[in-house]
Amino acid sequence: MLIPHSRPVFGHIFEHAVTQIVQSGQLAQGKATTILEQHISQYLSVPHTLAVDSGTSALMLAIRALTNNKALARIGIPAFACASLVFAVKNAGAIPVFIDCTKHLTLDAEQTLMISKTLDVLVLVHPFGMVEPLVQEHFACPVIEDIAQSVGATLHGQQVGTFTEMCIGSHHATKPWGGAYGGFIASHDPDLIDKCKAMTNPDTANLSAAYIGHHQLSSIHAVLAYTRIQQAEQDYIKRASWIKKYDALFEQASATPISGITNSQANHFRYIVRCEQDIANIIPLFHHMGIRVARPIQTPLHQSKVALDAWQHSLSIPVLADMSQAEFAYLQQGIQTCFAS
């Protein structure tokens, strides 16, 4: 049996939606892109949304808009996060300032509060389906919430993405709001969204502008993304019911689930555990059984002691919305076998 790390399901409803776009003849950015933006605004109750070609572009454009394209702006990002963050910062002509994580993979609060005084922008990533508690704090610099992995999660009943002036997300296939590719920026401030939009189309740009790329989202990608958003609640319910079973399994296993902070409701699209053993020894055991566990990130963005420790001891286990009972039984066997060794 093979259990992949991700398995987004695209049924007839996706096929039908894509066929309609092809038949309409409007495959590039069009009405479907606007509909996606409306869906996102409505879901987050944030009035202004811009759909773009990726989550990485969304972050890069948001940084450029918030810093007014300032050269060498200092942007705070987590050391334990996906590589896209560092590339988004570099593509904005800015400097990444790395902030350490805790054992729970959220940010070190003391360090963040201290470093934030020196930053132009702070990016708070809600990690791996969970909530970053620092969104409740007040910072002197502007803050972007990155909800690529955690859209749908809440803290005290409030949606992630609604705590600060701006949020970004991703429609990459493996994400909770995954279609194929794509991303979005949402804000209460129409000027910020207008600034981002002005940087998405070279054909209409002022040639003296500091930066413009081709960052519109095609109608094909938009329709995949908003069809996923319509399915997201059902996917969430299915994953949540598996998560309860995983929690029960891990009561007996030699690894501890990292399940998020008090008063939060996570949207676990992966199940992250901390093992005292080095996971370099555990991953091959799962892979040998055909269970595609992975490290939550490829590599720490900054090699601090704490980020390296998190990297050595954290494991991401697949949570497939459409998992069968037989697959779950096999996964259970894998967890019992690999963590007993």
Ligand X SMILES: Cc1ncc(COP(=O)(O)O)c(C=O)c1O
Residues making contact with ligand X (CB under 6 A): 54-56, 59, 81-82, 84-85, 125, 146, 148-149, 170, 172, 183
149/231 with CB nearer ligand X: 149
| Number of neighbours of residue 330 by Cβ within 10 angstroms | 18
- Packing angle between helix 31-44 and helix 219-250, nearest 10 degrees? 40
Instruction: In whole angstroms, give the CA distance from residue 257 to residue 116.
Output: 29
- Find the angle CA(108)-CA(114)-CA(117) to the nearest 5 degrees: 130
Strand order of the β-sheet with 48-52 is 48-52, 183-187, 166-170, 143-146, 121-125, 74-78, 95-99
219/289 with CB nearer ligand X: 219
Instruction: Enter the tokens of residue 187.
Output: 């804000």
The CB-nearest residue to ligand X is 55
DSSP state of 217: P
Q: Minimum distance between the CB of residue 259 and ligand X, rounded to whole angstroms? A: 18
Which residue type sits at 246? Y
178/334 with CB nearer ligand X: 178
Q: Minimum distance between the CB of residue 149 and ligand X, rounded to whole angstroms? A: 5
Residue given tokens 């590589």 in the structure block:
83
59/335 with CB nearer ligand X: 59
302/327 with CB nearer ligand X: 302
Q: Minimum distance between the CB of residue 5 and ligand X, rounded to whole angstroms? A: 13
Q: Minimum distance between the CB of residue 254 and ligand X, rounded to whole angstroms? A: 28
58/275 with CB nearer ligand X: 58
56/219 with CB nearer ligand X: 56
SS3 percent helix, strand, coil of the chain, rounded to 5, is 40, 20, 40
Q: Minimum distance between the CB of residue 211 and ligand X, rounded to whole angstroms? A: 17
Q: Minimum distance between the CB of residue 168 and ligand X, rounded to whole angstroms? A: 7
Q: Minimum distance between the CB of residue 196 and ligand X, rounded to whole angstroms? A: 15
Instruction: In whole angstroms, give the CA distance from residue 240 to residue 34.
Output: 30
149/259 with CB nearer ligand X: 149
Q: Minimum distance between the CB of residue 82 and ligand X, rounded to whole angstroms? A: 4
- Containing 167, the helix (H) or strand (E) segment is strand 166-170
- Find the angle CA(6)-CA(7)-CA(11) to the nearest 5 degrees: 155
The dihedrals phi and psi of 326, each to the nearest 5 degrees, come to -65, -40
- Find the angle CA(181)-CA(13)-CA(224) to the nearest 5 degrees: 15
Q: Minimum distance between the CB of residue 83 and ligand X, rounded to whole angstroms? A: 8
59/79 with CB nearer ligand X: 59
Instruction: In whole angstroms, give the CA distance from residue 99 to residue 139.
Output: 15
Residue given tokens 């993405």 in the structure block:
161
Collapsed DSSP state (helix, strand, coil) of residue 20: helix
Residue given tokens 């259990």 in the structure block:
3
